[in-house]
Structure 1
């Protein structure tokens, strides 16, 4: 997630130009060609291509409608992703507090000692952190197991590697361990039900994240937006050249750039889990949850928060 652009206006302009250099070069070539053929076409004995402004304006209006719809829908996906991970933060803290305060030797009447209760707490907290990293791995479709290996046993990891939906199976294991704790009288029935409700909430939040990841933006909006965009970009300088002469070059470049930036922002925003600078910072959010839960069980190895990164041209962002 981008936190801040550089305070240096030169770096801002340089960064925007660098990341859009191919499009800007293409706009420049089309615009120069349109103006040259308009200015010198008669010298080479051909009729210059001159397009009327009204149809190009109508095309631009239609394009603006498509871009507006797409960007609004893409932003809704991005914002929903942020709310989902905000819900995971709250539910994780609730789960950690319940694990630490609901479990006790009181209900077992001496059958369970404090060491077993502490070990059970640590196991469930660690497995939950493992679930968070497994969910990231699941959404980003990679196989980086190092974070899980810090919190889940090797035997359990080998078992879930064979399964399709790894975070789902980790939550299933959590449910089994809650049932074991109830049978061992570490928790009583009401507390068992409350903890299972939190597991259900994790399933709901995971399902919502999977829905965003698995729902492809309607193809025809992407396709026709791209077709209309480049048709507009190609036609615009030929409509401006006869009216503005050489001034058509910077004007058509500027207008084309605005429309392509709008299209690009929608394309980037519609998939918010990829780990890019503009995406939901799920690594940073997960690290904060990890710190909170480990401090609840008084762990001696608590990692530091993930610091903001400084990218090219002074952009500050969270991963």
Structure 2
């Protein structure tokens, strides 16, 4: 997630420069087609381009609105995980002996670790493999790229780590272990009924939030809408210079300072308009999967690290992991 005041124009321009190059080439072809003997005057009626542009605006706006909803849902899920984690820690520390509280809290940290590694795994429809995103990712780092779920779970779970890692879904296995231990503590009368009920509700909430995150991770933004939107944007941007070129050609016929060079203004103005549309689609596509690790995704690594520091500090520990600070104003 970008946490600076604003993206620099040069950074955004470099990220989206491929659309600029495409528009310059297509605009040059439009000018050439308009002036070549045999097909001189070739253009697309401006009314056609205008109607298509209106349609593209509606489709692109719908897509970006839905993408924003997905990102908001993802952030809300981790906001709820943060709040529930604090309650879990408080109940464990206040009503259980220190070793048991530590075990339950450490297992909860392990659950968050397994969850974030699961959410970082690549999916076929995600956009991190695109050249623009690969280049931009060099500006920051993803914590999960430099570690593995096994290396991080073993210090937290001790002898239980290997059994958990054998599970196809370690995060679910950890929640099941939490439930088993809480039930055992209640049967042994080591937990008051009211606290048992609260801990059970928190485990259910962790299940709910994980299911919410899994739904976003495992189900892409409907590809029919995503593909149609991208196709319409590309078609519009390709036809745009062919609709604009006669406007500037007629301007050149008026004479004056512009004269014969007026038609060449098709290239910068078409490029500017096309870049706006293509960049809007590129931003939407790159934000559709809020856990993959793009610069605008939910910073799940930082959130989980902050929760871990807070929970371990509550146990009285002083040897705490370092916070994950933003790199180049990007929190991950």
Q: Same fold by TM (over 0.5)?
A: yes
Q: CA RMSD in A?
A: 1.6
Equivalent residue number for residue 99 of structure 2: 119
CA distance in 2, matches of 1:193, 1:202: 14
List gaps (5 residues or longer) in structure 1. 104-116, 311-315
- The equivalent of 1:286 in structure 2 is 304
Match of 1:176 among 163, 177, 180: 180
Counterpart for residue 170 of structure 2: 166
Establish whether residue 208 from structure 1 lines up as the match of residue 221 from structure 2: no
Q: Is the 2:67–2:288 Cα contact (8 Å) retained in structure 1?
A: yes
Where in structure 1 do 4 or more consecutive aligned residues deviate above 6 Å?
A: none
Structure 2 residues not aligned, in runs of 5+: 123-147, 249-262
Indicate the residue corresponding to 1:96 in structure 2. Answer: 89
Q: In the aligned structure 1, how far is the partner of 2:93 from the partner of 2:287?
A: 38
Q: CA deviation at 1:281?
A: 0.5
Tell me by how many angstroms 1:90 deviates.
0.2
Match runs of 1:1-319 below 5 Å: 1-4=1-4, 12-38=8-34, 40-42=35-37, 45-103=38-96, 117-141=97-121, 143-153=148-158, 155-244=159-248, 245-310=263-328, 316-319=329-332
| Alpha-carbon separation, structure 2, partners of 1:207 and 1:13 | 38
1:5: how far off?
Answer: 5.3
Greater shift after overlay, 174-183 or 22-31? 174-183
| TM-score, normalization by structure 2 | 0.84
Counting matched residue pairs gives 293
TM-score by length of 1: 0.88
Shift of 1:162: 2.3
